[in-house]
Amino acid sequence: MSRLRELMEELCPDGVKYKKLGDVVSVCRGVRVVRAELQLLGKYPVYQNSLIPMGYYDKENCIAGTAFIIGAGAAGDIGYSDVPFWAADDCFYFVCEDNMNARFLYYVLVGQETFIKGKVRKASIPRLSRNVVEKMIIPVPPLEIQNEIVKLLDNFTKLTAELTEQLMTELTLRKKQYNFYRDSLLNFVRVDDTIVQTDRQTDRQAQRISKFGLLRKTHHIEWKRLRDVSVRISSGGTPRKTNSAYYNGGTIPWLRTQEVEFNYIEKVSSFITEEGLRNSSAKWIPAYCVIVAISGATAGRSAVNNIPVTTNQHCCNIEVNEEMVEYKYVFYWVKSQYEKLKGLGRGARADLSAEIIANYPIPVPTLEVQQKIVSILDRFDALCNDLTSGLPAEIAARKKQYEHYRDKLLTFPRSKLKERS
């Protein structure tokens, strides 16, 4: 029999009492501070309208080990601090008596967060009233049971955090491994009129790659510019935003650079009309172009459109010459050159241009070699994508498991004994 079950049978044979939160703890509202009094770094964090400190103060009004609820802004968010802090006026904190473990209270409130947020008044600034908080009904088992539940949930929280960290580390390592092999496969240098596939790795690592039948001492390959291996390089345009006829009811997929994220584009989030297309520089490009973002924060990022689309003027669209190059080979090459491309940016925003992209060099091995490189990198890509998509699912599953375990621990049979008034 578990220690918790033993305690329940010994101390709560008739069930657990449920009470209003305000009858169990003191619900206190914090005290306002002005930003001018705060520091970027300091001794005591200040919580106001979110769980992220708004700054640091030289005083504290809450002891370490205090649970609190945000009352405005991110209203309904539940917090707990292991260090002393200052609760500002949009923060409710709880002063517990000897019969309440503050950490237990925190877990109870987290378990009721959906209910709490359902009581938030929707306005320009969402707010949660003190009255709602005080009238919440919570279980109040004996302190020994609270302490045992806290110990169990703290351990489970730690295990869940460690697992999440391990999964993220695994993903990072796999991505590094992918980038290493990609760069090894695409790492060519010019030697007179010959391109040599470089060997920056150890001989053993080089032998691994040679098993794919790719790593030869020299490949007689021409070094070309992207314009030389393209049928057409173009950019798009943006229909005038003030004319709703260019957008409303539009069915023509219109790609913006925000969606260019080293990915294969299957769908877009924006559409324009035929009228918008006719009256702007936007133009159709066929499927399987290599698209490079050339403006602002997205400059240098690349993608492939798996469907025909139109684009805005911040996309440089490379329609490859299939007799010379595999479009995926060009994509992998451009993708591997991201940092170098970014370094070619000009002006305050470090913008690129279609001319810069068109003149960027690319080694062109035979189509057979390109196809082998693409085949290997496709497999690595698939592995990384499986991990990337599987990781959030695994973390979500662990979170559900944790929430189920937490809710089971915090669900008690109600006492049938009436309390004396």
**What are the residue boundaries of the structural domains of the chain, listed by start?**
1-10+146-189+365-415, 17-140, 222-363
Q: Quick count: other Cβ atoms within 10 Å of Cβ 176? A: 10
Strands in 25-29's sheet, in edge-to-edge order, are 25-29, 91-96, 66-70, 78-81
Strands 302-305 and 263-265, by their bridges, are parallel
**What distance in Å separates the CA atoms of residue 280 and residue 249, rounded to the nearest whole number?**
17
7-22 mean pLDDT: 90
Across 12-16, 25-29, 165-169, 251-255, least confident range? 165-169
Tokens of 362: 């690319």
Say if 17-140 and 222-363 have the same CATH topology: yes
pLDDT of 352 over the 70 cut:
yes
173 contacts: CB under 8 Å, gap ≥ 6: none
pLDDT for the residue numbered 274: 96
Tell me whether residue 373 is exposed, middle or buried, using C-beta atoms within 10 angstroms of its C-beta: 0 to 12, 13 to 18, 19 or more.
Answer: buried
Cα-based torsion angle of the residue sequence 280, 285, 289, 290 in order, rounded to the nearest 10 degrees? 0
Across 126-135, 139-148, 175-184, 201-210, least confident range? 201-210
The mean pLDDT value of the chain amounts to: 86
**What distance in Å separates the CA atoms of residue 228 and residue 353, rounded to the nearest whole number?**
17
Strands in 263-265's sheet, in edge-to-edge order, are 230-235, 315-320, 290-293, 302-305, 263-265
Contact 126, 120 (CB under 8 A): yes
pLDDT for the residue numbered 5: 85
Q: Which amino acid is at 243?
A: N
pLDDT for the residue numbered 126: 93
Contact 220, 194 (CB under 8 A): yes
Phi and psi at residue 70, to the nearest 5° = -75, 130
**What distance in Å separates the CA atoms of residue 164 and residue 347, rounded to the nearest whole number?**
41
Tell the residue number behind the tokens 């705060």, with chain if given. 38
Cα-based torsion angle of the residue sequence 115, 121, 124, 127 in order, rounded to the nearest 10 degrees? -80
35-44 mean pLDDT: 88
pLDDT of 186 over the 90 cut:
no
Nearest to 100 by CA among 10, 3, 44, 27: 27
pLDDT for the residue numbered 403: 77
> CA distances (Å), 43 to each of 53, 59, 310, in order?
12, 8, 54
231-245 mean pLDDT: 96
Q: Which amino acid is at 152?
A: L
pLDDT for the residue numbered 340: 93
Across 43-52, 156-165, 409-418, least confident range? 409-418
Question: What is the band of 4 on the pLDDT scale with cuts at 50, 70, 90?
Answer: confident
**What distance in Å separates the CA atoms of residue 157 and residue 162, rounded to the nearest whole number?**
9
Q: Which amino acid is at 386?
A: D
pLDDT for the residue numbered 361: 94
pLDDT for the residue numbered 191: 38
pLDDT of 160 over the 90 cut:
no
% of the chain at pLDDT higher than 70: 88
pLDDT of 43 over the 70 cut:
yes
pLDDT in tens, 47-100: 999 999 999 999 999 999 999 999 999 999 999 999 999 999 999 999 998 899
User: For 17-140, which CATH class?
Assistant: alpha beta
pLDDT of 212 over the 70 cut:
no
Question: Who wins on pLDDT, 314 or 165?
Answer: 314
pLDDT for the residue numbered 163: 77
Assigned CATH for 222-363:
3.90.220.20
